[in-house]
Structure 1
Amino acid sequence: MRLPDSDKKMNFLSIRVTIITLSILLIIAIVIFVVFWKKPPQYYVQYGVALGTNVTISYATGRGNAQQVVETMFKELDNINNIFNPWLPNSELYNLNHSNGQWTQVSPELLDVLEYSIQIAQKTDGNFDPSIGRLVNLWGFNSTDSRNWHLPSSSEIANILPHVGYQNVQFDGNKVRLLNGVWIDLGGIAKGYAVQLLVEMAKENDPNSTGYVDIGGDIGIIGPKYGNQPWVIGVRNPRGTSNDALTYVNLYRGYIATSGDYERYITVGGKRYYHIINPKTGYSDNYFQSVTSISDNGMLSDAFGTAAMVAGPNDISQWAEELGIGYFLIYENGQIQNNTLWNEYAK
Structure 2
Amino acid sequence: MFRYFFIVLAVTTISNIGFSQQIYKRTLTLMGSRFDITVVATEKIKAHQYIDQAVEEISRIEKLISSWDKSSQTSLINTNAGIRAVTVDKELFDLIHRAIQLSKLTDGAFDISYASMDQIWKFDNSMTTMPTEQDINASVARVGYHNIIMDKEKSTVYLTKKGMKIGFGAIGKGYAADKAKDLLVKQGVIAGIINASGDMNTWGNQPDGSEWKVAITNPMNKNNAFALLPVVNSAVVTSGNYEKYVVLEGKRYTHIIDPRTGYPSTGIISVTVFAPKAELADALATSVFVMGIETGVNRINQLKGVECIIIDDQGDIHTSNHITIHQ
Q: Which residue of 2 aligns with 1:190?
A: 172
1:74 aligns with 2:55: yes
8 Å contact from structure 2 (residues 215, 229) kept in 1: yes
* Residue-pair matches, total: 304
Q: Which residue of 1 aligns with 2:74?
A: 93
Q: Residues 52-84 of structure 1: CA distance to partner in whole angstroms, max 9, x if unpaired? A: 221101101347621111012112222222222
Which of 291, 303, 316 is the equivalent residue of 2:296? 316
Cα 1:93–1:65 change in 2 (3 A) is same
8 Å contact from structure 1 (residues 232, 251) kept in 2: yes
Task: Output the TM-score relative to the length of structure 1.
Answer: 0.80
Q: Which residue of 2 aligns with 1:112?
A: 94
User: C-alpha displacement at 1:126, in angstroms?
Assistant: 0.9
User: C-alpha displacement at 1:89, in angstroms?
Assistant: 2.9
Structure 1 unaligned residues grouped into runs of 5+: 1-36
1:39 aligns with 2:19: yes
Which of 36, 39, 43 is the equivalent residue of 1:56? 36
Structure 2 unaligned residues grouped into runs of 5+: 1-16
Alignment map for 1:1-347 (pairs within 5 Å): 38-62=18-42, 65-101=46-82, 102-135=84-117, 137-139=119-121, 146=124, 152-173=131-152, 174-181=155-162, 182-206=164-188, 209-226=190-207, 228-241=209-222, 243-324=223-304, 325-343=306-324
Q: Name the aligned partner's letter for residue 168 of structure 2.
A: L
Cα 1:53–1:95 change in 2 (3 A) is same
8 Å contact from structure 1 (residues 193, 298) kept in 2: yes
Structure with larger RCO (C-alpha < 8 A, sep 6+)? 2
User: Which consecutive segments of 4 or more residues in structure 1 shift more than 4 A?
Assistant: 146-152
- Once residues 113 and 270 of structure 2 are traced to their aligned partners in structure 1, the CA distance between those partners, rounded to angstroms, is 22
CA RMSD for the aligned pairs?
2.5
User: C-alpha displacement at 1:95, in angstroms?
Assistant: 2.1
- Once residues 56 and 30 of structure 2 are traced to their aligned partners in structure 1, the CA distance between those partners, rounded to angstroms, is 10
Q: Residues 25-78 of structure 1: CA distance to partner in whole angstroms, max 9, x if unpaired? A: xxxxxxxxxxxx742411221100112221101101347621111012112222
Cα 1:135–1:262 change in 2 (3 A) is farther
User: C-alpha displacement at 1:238, in angstroms?
Assistant: 2.1
User: C-alpha displacement at 1:311, in angstroms?
Assistant: 0.6
Q: Name the aligned partner's letter for residue 123 of structure 1.
A: L
User: C-alpha displacement at 1:230, in angstroms?
Assistant: 1.2
More helix by share: 1
Percent identity between the two aligned chains: 27
Task: Output the TM-score relative to the length of structure 2.
Answer: 0.85
User: C-alpha displacement at 1:204, in angstroms?
Assistant: 0.6
Cα 1:88–1:237 change in 2 (3 A) is farther
Secondary structure, in 3 states, of the residue corresponding to 1:342? coil
